[in-house]
């Protein structure tokens, strides 16, 4: 992965941390999801070239090639305020969940 990609990922994760410090969990989730989209657009994970957060997270949760830790982090990131209100699975720590996914792809040979 190029240094430019790491810069883009860092920018999104920094915005997510800022959002958390401002008690804006929704914005933090959006930033974490955008980081995953950036990651998926610049990896050889699939032949797909156009990603959005829904497609990226669905791919991570529905493809058998990813470890449970990555799948579970992606599932949590899929949930937002509606999921929280309905008692469904959602990310209580979108930064940590995004970092789990990012580490997986960065550590690939």
CA–CA distance, 97 with 77 (Å, rounded to integer): 7
- In the structure, how many helices (H) and strands (E) does the chain have? 6, 0
Q: How far apart are the first and last CA of the chain?
A: 11
| pLDDT at residue 79, as a whole number | 85
pLDDT in tens, 22-64: 999 999 999 999 999 999 988 865 666 788 999 999 999 998 8
| pLDDT at residue 88, as a whole number | 74
Mean pLDDT of the chain: 90
Which CATH number fits the domain 3-106, given the four candidates 2.30.29, 1.10.287, 1.20.120, 3.30.1660?
1.20.120
CA–CA distance, 100 with 72 (Å, rounded to integer): 10
| 3-class secondary structure, 1 | coil
| Residue among 31, 40, 42 nearest 91 (CA) | 31
Task: Determine if the pTM surpasses 0.95.
Answer: no
Angle at 102 between CA 96 and CA 105, to 5 degrees: 150
Query: Bigger pLDDT: 85 or 18?
Result: 18
CA–CA distance, 17 with 43 (Å, rounded to integer): 24
């Amino acid at each position: 992965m190029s240094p430019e990609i790491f810069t883009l990922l860092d920018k999104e994760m920094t915005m997510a941390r800022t959002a958390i410090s401002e008690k804006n969990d929704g914005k933090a989730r959006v930033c974490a999801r955008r980081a995953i989209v950036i990651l998926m657009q610049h990896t050889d994970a699939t032949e797909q070239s156009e990603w959005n957060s829904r497609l990226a997270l669905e791919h991570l949760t529905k493809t058998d090639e990813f470890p449970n830790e990555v799948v579970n982090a992606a599932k949590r990131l899929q949930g937002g305020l509606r999921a929280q209100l309905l008692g469904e699975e959602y990310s209580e720590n979108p930064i940590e969940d995004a970092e789990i996914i990012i580490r997986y792809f960065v550590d690939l040979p």
